[in-house]
Structure 1
Amino acid sequence: MALTDTQKDLMRDTWYEVTLDIKANGEAFYLALFAEHPNFIDYFEKFRGKKLEDLKGSNKLISHAVLAMKNISELIAALDDVEALVGVMHEIVDSHYPRNIVYSHYVKTFDVLLAVLGQALGDQWTPEVKESWSTAFTILLSVSEARLATLETQGEEGVQE
C-alpha cells in the first residue's frame, strides 16, 4: 500500500489548513483523545491525576499539543521520502516506548486524530481527503507495529539504526 501523489497533495493542503490554528487544533486533538480514552492522561507525567476540565486551556497541554502537531508536520514533510518518513515514525515510537505505549494506543490515537481532522477541516473533509489520511495512518501503523516488535525483541537499549 502506498500513497498516490494526489493523496500526498491532499494531505499537504489540508494539513496546512490545520496548522493555521495549530494551538487550537492541537488542543482539540488532545482533549478529544482524553475524552475518548481517559486512561491516556496517566501516560503523561505532567497531566497525571488531572481531570479533563483542568487541562482545557492549560499552557502545559497546549505546549505538548503544539509539539505533537510539529511531529505530524515532520511526517507530512517526509511524504515523498519513505526512509525519512519511517525514521520520523521510529523516533516517535522510540520516545514513547519507555512509557509502555503499545500498538493499540497508536490505533486509538490515529482514530481520534482522524475524527479531529474531519472536524477541523469541515467542508474540506471530503471522502478523498479522508481516504488519503486513512491510508497514511494505515501505513504509519504498520511502521509502528514493526518498530514495536523490534524494540520488544531487542530491548530499547539494543536497537541500532
Structure 2
Amino acid sequence: MGGVFSYLLSWVTPGPTYDLTPDPTTGLSERDCHAILDTWALVSDRKAIKQNGVNFFLVLFKEHPYMLKYFPAFKGLSEDELGDSPLLKAHATSVMYAIKSYVGTIDDAETLAGLVTKMANSHVPRGIKTKDLENLAVVFLDFMGSALGSQWTPEAANAWKQLFDVHCQLYDKVYTELKAGDLANGK
C-alpha cells in the first residue's frame, strides 16, 4: 500500500527545487550542476566510458580531420584501424576521465579551474589552440545529444555548454599567458 501511496503522492508533489543563482565563477546554477551530473551518469559507467570516448573521438576526427595532426601515431590509419587503436582507446579513456573529474568538481570552482589549468599547461605546448577546444566542445555536445536521445534536454545542453565555455575561457587564459611568455623569451 505504501508504494501506491508514494506513487500517487509523486504526482502532486513537485520535483526537487534547485537554486537557480549562477556561481560567479562558473556561471552554473545548482540546477545546471544536477543536469550535468545526471546526464554524465548515463554515458560514464565503467563499462561504457572507454567506448563512448572512442566513439566521440571518431566523430571529432570526422568533423575536424585537421585535429589528427596532433596525434602523429594515428597518421595514415583508416577509421576502422583508428577505432581499434590501443593508443586512441587510451587517450579517449583519459579524456573521458578528465571530463569526469570536471563533472566531479563543478561545485568547486577553484578545483575545476586547477584541473583545466593543469590540462592547458600540458596541451598548449603541443600547439592545441583555444579554437580547437571550442570545436571539441561543439562535437562533444552533439555527441552527448546523439548518445542520450530524449534524455538530452535543452537544460542539460545549456548546462554542458556553460561548462565548456568556462573550460575554454580558462584554457584561453593559460594559452595567452604561455604564448606571452614564449614571446618574451624569444620563442
2:90 counterpart letter in structure 1: S
Rounded to whole Å, the distance in 1 between the matches of 2:140 and 2:113 is: 19
Structure 1 match to 2:42: 17
Aligned partner (choices 105, 113, 119) of residue 146 of structure 2: 119
Q: CA deviation at 1:52?
A: 2.6
- Paired residue secondary structure (2:72): coil
Q: CA deviation at 1:77?
A: 0.9
- Paired residue secondary structure (2:84): coil
- Paired residue secondary structure (2:148): helix
Rounded to whole Å, the distance in 2 between the matches of 1:15 and 1:95 is: 25
Structure 1 match to 2:61: 34
- Paired residue secondary structure (2:128): coil
**Cα deviations by residue, 1:51-102 (Å, 9 ceiling, x for unpaired):** 3332023222112111110000111111111111011111111111121001
User: Taking every aligned residue pair, what percent have the same amino acid on both sides?
Assistant: 33
Rounded to whole Å, the distance in 2 between the matches of 1:52 and 1:100 is: 24
Q: Which shifted more, 132-141 or 26-35?
A: 132-141
**Alignment partner of 1:84 is 2:111:** yes
5+ residue gaps, structure 1, are: none
- Number of matched pairs: 157
1:47 counterpart letter in structure 2: F
TM score, norm. by length of structure 1: 0.91
Moved over 6 A (4+): none
Q: Which shifted more, 55-64 or 10-19?
A: 55-64
TM score, norm. by length of structure 2: 0.79
Aligned partner (choices 107, 112, 129) of residue 156 of structure 2: 129
| Structure ID, larger Rg | 2
Rounded to whole Å, the distance in 2 between the matches of 1:121 and 1:91 is: 29
Rounded to whole Å, the distance in 1 between the matches of 2:124 and 2:103 is: 22
Aligned residues of 1:41 and 1:48 also touching (Cα < 8 A) = yes
2:41 counterpart letter in structure 1: Y
Task: Give the alignment's Cα RMSD to 1 decimal.
Answer: 1.7
